[in-house]
Amino acid sequence: MSATPFADRARIDAFDKVRGATAYAADVPLPGMLHAILVPSRVAKGHLATLPVEDAMRVPGVVRVLTPDDFPPPPEPVRFPNADAPPTLHREIAFRGQPVALVVAETLEAAMEGAEHVVPTYEEQTFAATKRSALAVREEARPTVFGDAEAALARANATVDVEYESPTQHHNPIELISTTAVWAEGRLTIYEGTQFASGLKEVVARILRIDPGIVDVKSPTVGGAFGQKGWVQQQTAIVARAAMLTGRPVKLVTPRGQIFHLAKFRPNSTHRIRLGADADGRMIAAHYVSDQQQSRGGTFPSNYHAGPSRLYGIQNYYGGAVDYRIHTQPPGHMRAPHEHPACFAFECAVDELAYRIGADPVEFRIANDTRVDPQNGRALSSRYLNECLSRGAQRFGWERRTPEPGSMRASDGSLVGWGVASGTYPALVTATVASLRISADGTTRFATTHHEFGQGIKTAIAAVLLDGLEIDPTRLDIVLGDTTAAPQQITAGSWGTFSVVPTAALAVERMRAALSELLGGRQVSGNIHQQLAAIRRPYLTVDVSQLGPGQEAAALERLRRGQYAIAGPTFPEFTSMSYIAHFIEVRVEPTTRRIRMPRVVSVADCGRVVSPRTAASQVRGGVIWAFGASLREATEVDPRYGGFLNNDLADYVVPVNADIGEIEVDFINEPDLLANSVGVKGLGEVAMVGASAAIANAIFHATGKRLRELPIRIEHLL
């Protein structure tokens, strides 16, 4: 199969970004705006006894203090992203840091000072702070089973039985979580960086018992989302209520320290994996049981075992999962939420098995390819994992690797380790609508479902529109994340491009047809704007909608109501997955044991690449995040108080530019034309998947040490 590769283009939003002209939610200038600060609970579990607000009200500039009394009780049945404490103010405390009051003031300083003067008292209850606590409640999820893993393990020629651990980690986007709400003329407008503007609109309306038809949500640019901004935030409805009660715009930018306790995070998880290979070096069995920390009412799934079940052609698979329910805010999605910890564990275990049987780790993976979805025997829409592995090996220079651990040295005496790992992520899609208008005045407006948070979705849409239509690229307005422009769907799970790029292509096709019908065979010169002007037509609009392969039409209705409208990775005729192979060099300094990562080669199969520049940038971001997740990031829990201790960027250590060496990115760039008309699959999340395993495998190759718990730090190598 072949298709013309898309050209490399600059980001459509780059010029505004580098000039600081891009407006994020917290940048909206509004006259008469008030500032707000939340008062967090100081206890991990209990009941508010007293909540005096008089001292705060005496602080000059404080306008109002909102308490649980200012909110209607949450509607039943309660089905919110946070079932522990639905996003409003409550007297029942489900986790430390849960907001108990909101101070609203003329200035940010007054709001902060006011918040310090709200000192509630609590009736405290006992709580579980970690999954090893005696009060943690153990709960098993439904397993994924095919074939007979135990029987196959029993007849395997070689096996491994290993346990890996991934720590609690927190999102730290540059853009903090912020909400600005305006109540005017019977309408509520919310500006918030979110991945799901329509879902946020529906939930806020339900919490505040107002008609969703009077709520507008605008989120045109988001400064980093990655799952943390997946839905309504704990604060959204609280700030909206403050705007309704004061009659003035209210802004809350939540401080980073509070976000550690309020927002979604990556839960601690443990992964016990048993693998078996036959005499020919084919993996015949995998038995994989994970457990994770979960909140009491949390709904973050525990299906870590789903991704690895589709990575190779393993015929006998048991995937089990356990939740330990404790008293934190609910854990949630954080970039490759299951696939990153799962593939870290699984791809390290695969490396251990390759070493056990004396196979080359790249050859071993290539020999375990599959042409079908092992879960159900369906065809795969496309799969180029072996091409990723062989091309990556070639670009990396893998043939110069000597397999014995500790056998390679740099000229400065550093131990050199070369590691490989693969990754996969489901190709998912949502129902999408779009409206394309080209005007005689030279402007074009494309309003559609989905959100831009820097991943480059606008640039990908622009590539399709500009390749297909002769329009002025400098006056192209792509409107995203705005419930007044189009119904919005959650943009997550790497389904943005898969969903909206084929919809843009459909809009192009319809526009060309509409234009040629309008011209009726007349020869009119110039671009489309000039043609419309010549025939005295002010504008031409086409409206389109699109479903995923085999997706039922009801998904469009759900989209319009702010509900999930997602399909995949199993479609009626096939399963669709994206793939990646990472090759990573680490160097371990001989005396200090400092670990460095000078060189990475990552090759991805995400179908056809529409925006080469932003796609490569996604892969670099994923590798850098994997570096942080492997070698830096862990959130420490204080079991006495149930809080997260290192809740700032001084103590929660993330990678910096100086940590990162060269990251070479390549794409197979083969269109997946079963998936959709353009041939795209998802990329954002798969970029990170497996990179942590490649790092840990490289550290083993450098040092001979199998370190099975992240993050790996200097002290583990001394």
Q: Least distance from C-beta 226 to ligand MOS, angstroms?
A: 4
Q: How far apart are CA 645 and CA 95, in angstroms?
A: 14
The answer to whether the beta carbons of residues 405 and 699 sit under 8 Å apart is no
* CB-nearer residue toward ligand MOS: 81 or 643: 81
Neighbour count for residue 75 (Cβ, 10 Å): 13
Of 2-10, 224-232, 274-282, 641-649, the segment contacting ligand MOS by CB under 6 A is 224-232
With CA atoms as reference, report the closest residue to 148 among 327, 286, 324: 286
The answer to whether the beta carbons of residues 132 and 292 sit under 8 Å apart is no
For the four alpha carbons of 621, 622, 624 and 625, in that order, the dihedral sign comes to positive
Q: Least distance from C-beta 293 to ligand MOS, angstroms?
A: 17
Contact with ligand MOS (CB under 6 A) among 320, 337, 502, 628: 337
> Residue 249: how many CA atoms within 13 Å on its side-chain side?
15
Instruction: Draw the binding track, 642-681, toward ligand MOS (x: CB under 6 A; -: no contact).
Output: ----------------------------------------
With CA atoms as reference, report the closest residue to 264 among 222, 232, 242, 309: 232
* CB-nearer residue toward ligand MOS: 24 or 495: 495
* CB-nearer residue toward ligand MOS: 519 or 654: 654
Q: Least distance from C-beta 701 to ligand MOS, angstroms?
A: 30
Cα 371 versus chain centre, distance: 28
* CB-nearer residue toward ligand MOS: 489 or 697: 489
Kindly report the backbone phi and psi dihedral angles of residue 567, in degrees, each rounded to the nearest multiple of 5, phi listed first.
Answer: -135, 160
Q: How far apart are CA 83 and CA 299, in angstroms?
A: 8
* CB-nearer residue toward ligand MOS: 202 or 685: 685
Of 171-179, 185-193, 232-240, 330-338, the segment contacting ligand MOS by CB under 6 A is 330-338
Q: What share of the chain is helix, strand, coil (3-state, %, to 5)?
A: 30, 25, 45
* CB-nearer residue toward ligand MOS: 85 or 492: 492
Alpha helices (H) along 166-235: 197-208
> Is residue 307 involved in binding ligand MOS (CB under 6 A)?
no
Instruction: Restricting to residues 343-372, name those near ligand MOS by CB under 6 A.
Output: none
How many residues appear in the chain?
Answer: 718
Q: Least distance from C-beta 490 to ligand MOS, angstroms?
A: 8
* CB-nearer residue toward ligand MOS: 320 or 493: 493
Q: Least distance from C-beta 75 to ligand MOS, angstroms?
A: 26
Strands 265-266 and 169-170: antiparallel
Cis bond before residue 569 (omega within 30° of 0):
yes
Q: Least distance from C-beta 580 to ligand MOS, angstroms?
A: 15
Of 244-252, 318-326, 329-337, 674-682, the segment contacting ligand MOS by CB under 6 A is 329-337
Kindly state the number of chain residues that form the binding site for ligand MOS, as judged by CB under 6 A. Answer: 11
* CB-nearer residue toward ligand MOS: 67 or 576: 576
Of 17-25, 225-233, 290-298, 304-312, the segment contacting ligand MOS by CB under 6 A is 225-233
* CB-nearer residue toward ligand MOS: 665 or 683: 683
Contact with ligand MOS (CB under 6 A) among 685, 694, 698, 701: 685
Of 138-146, 328-336, 559-567, 616-624, the segment contacting ligand MOS by CB under 6 A is 328-336
Q: Least distance from C-beta 566 to ligand MOS, angstroms?
A: 12
- Greatest Cα-to-Cα distance within the chain, rounded to the nearest angstrom: 80
Instruction: Draw the binding track, 227-246, toward ligand MOS (x: CB under 6 A; -: no contact).
Output: x--x----------------
Q: Least distance from C-beta 423 to ligand MOS, angstroms?
A: 14
Contact with ligand MOS (CB under 6 A) among 333, 365, 451, 708: 333
Structure tokens at 712: 């790996």
> Is residue 482 involved in binding ligand MOS (CB under 6 A)?
no
With CA atoms as reference, report the closest residue to 309 among 317, 301, 298: 317
The answer to whether the beta carbons of residues 290 and 274 sit under 8 Å apart is no
Instruction: Draw the binding track, 117-156, toward ligand MOS (x: CB under 6 A; -: no contact).
Output: ----------------------------------------
Neighbour count for residue 86 (Cβ, 10 Å): 23
Q: How far apart are CA 24 and CA 221, in angstroms?
A: 6
Q: Least distance from C-beta 589 to ligand MOS, angstroms?
A: 33
> Is residue 493 involved in binding ligand MOS (CB under 6 A)?
yes
Q: Least distance from C-beta 494 to ligand MOS, angstroms?
A: 7
Q: How far apart are CA 180 and CA 138, in angstroms?
A: 39
For the chain, the distance separating the N- and C-terminal CA atoms, rounded to the nearest angstrom, is 52
> Is residue 226 involved in binding ligand MOS (CB under 6 A)?
yes
Neighbour count for residue 688 (Cβ, 10 Å): 30
Kindly report the backbone phi and psi dihedral angles of residue 580, in degrees, each rounded to the nearest multiple of 5, phi listed first.
Answer: -155, 150
Q: Least distance from C-beta 451 to ligand MOS, angstroms?
A: 10
* CB-nearer residue toward ligand MOS: 226 or 396: 226
CB-closest chain residue to ligand MOS: 227
With CA atoms as reference, report the closest residue to 342 among 299, 309, 374, 384: 309
> Is residue 396 involved in binding ligand MOS (CB under 6 A)?
no
Contact with ligand MOS (CB under 6 A) among 492, 600, 601, 619: 492
* CB-nearer residue toward ligand MOS: 93 or 490: 490
Cis bond before residue 330 (omega within 30° of 0):
no
With CA atoms as reference, report the closest residue to 478 among 496, 504, 515: 504
The answer to whether the beta carbons of residues 431 and 559 sit under 8 Å apart is yes
> Is residue 335 involved in binding ligand MOS (CB under 6 A)?
yes
Cα 109 versus chain centre, distance: 33
With CA atoms as reference, report the closest residue to 491 among 584, 565, 381, 596: 565
* CB-nearer residue toward ligand MOS: 337 or 607: 337
Beta bridge partners of 444: 438, 476
Binding site for ligand MOS (CB under 6 A): 226-227, 230, 333-335, 337, 492-493, 684-685
